Amino acid sequence: MTMDWTDRAWLHGVLADPHRLAVLHHVALGDESPKQLAEFIGIPMPLLSHHLNVLAEAGLITRTASEKDRRKRFVTLTSSAFGYLDREWLRDRLHTPSGRVVFACTHNSARSVLAAALWSDRFHRPTAAGGTTPGTRIHPKTVRTARNHRVPLLQDTPVSLDAVLHESDLLVTVCDAANEQVLSHPHRLHWSIPDPATPNDNKSFEKAFDQISQRISRLGNVLRPTWEGAITHE
């Protein structure tokens, strides 16, 4: 059903506030904590909480608890908000000197493996994946999920993030634990995606795949104009 004019006008009213627009842009490509958002935008937490409530009611953001620390929360952009963003501003904010995106999770057995495979399959751009504490094997349901979606995996076994990450890469952490372990990397984003291996069922792996797929598309569509002439690591 098409949104009626009253709803459309209300949504434009929500977006007329500069602080709310700033929130959307700061979480457009990566998830941020409310504390980080308050610091980025320069407003007190009570005022930020008000704006987050309005944006959540409008369906433009979601808020989820960190898998690593349930006391922490992350703010995530919804797909319905992407059409309201300034993509040129987003490109200017991203630093990708090498043109390569590297994905990281803890064990490099599920989320980061799927993310790198999706990135390569969809955009044919250089990528890699690694773990902060690599496991001993790629999770069997990772292999099954990739096969079901006809996405070729790029690795047979987990590898260390230190072995594949260069300082000039754009690092995307896809689990909350890894996010807390690589804070020093100069070019990074975070995607708070629950570990599908914890419930260890096909539905959880499919959900993780869908979440990663949406974010891959969003990031790639922003970066695409910068790729021509980029220097890459092989």
> Do 67 and 194 meet the contact criterion of CB atoms below 8 Å apart?
yes
Question: What's residue 183's pLDDT?
Answer: 80
Region 112-129: what's the mean pLDDT? Answer: 97
Which of 76, 74, 138 minimizes the C-alpha distance to 105? 138
> In terms of DSSP bridges, do strands 101-105 and 170-173 run parallel, antiparallel, or are they unpaired?
parallel
What pLDDT score was predicted for residue 22?
A: 97
Q: What was the pLDDT predicted at 226? A: 79
Structure tokens at 107: 């064990």
- Model confidence pTM above 0.85: yes
State the chain's mean pLDDT as an integer.
92
Fold of 94-225: Rossmann fold (3.40.50)
For residue 7, the model assigns a pLDDT of 84
pLDDT at res. 3:
64
Q: CB–CB of 231/99 below 8 Å? A: yes
Architecture of 5-90 per CATH? Orthogonal Bundle (1.10)
For residues 106-124, give the mean pLDDT. 97
Model confidence at 228, pLDDT cuts 50, 70, 90, reads low
- Structural domain boundaries of the chain? 5-90, 94-225
pLDDT tens for residues 133-175?
A: 999 999 999 999 999 999 999 999 999 999 999 999 999 999 9
Model pLDDT, residue 150: 98
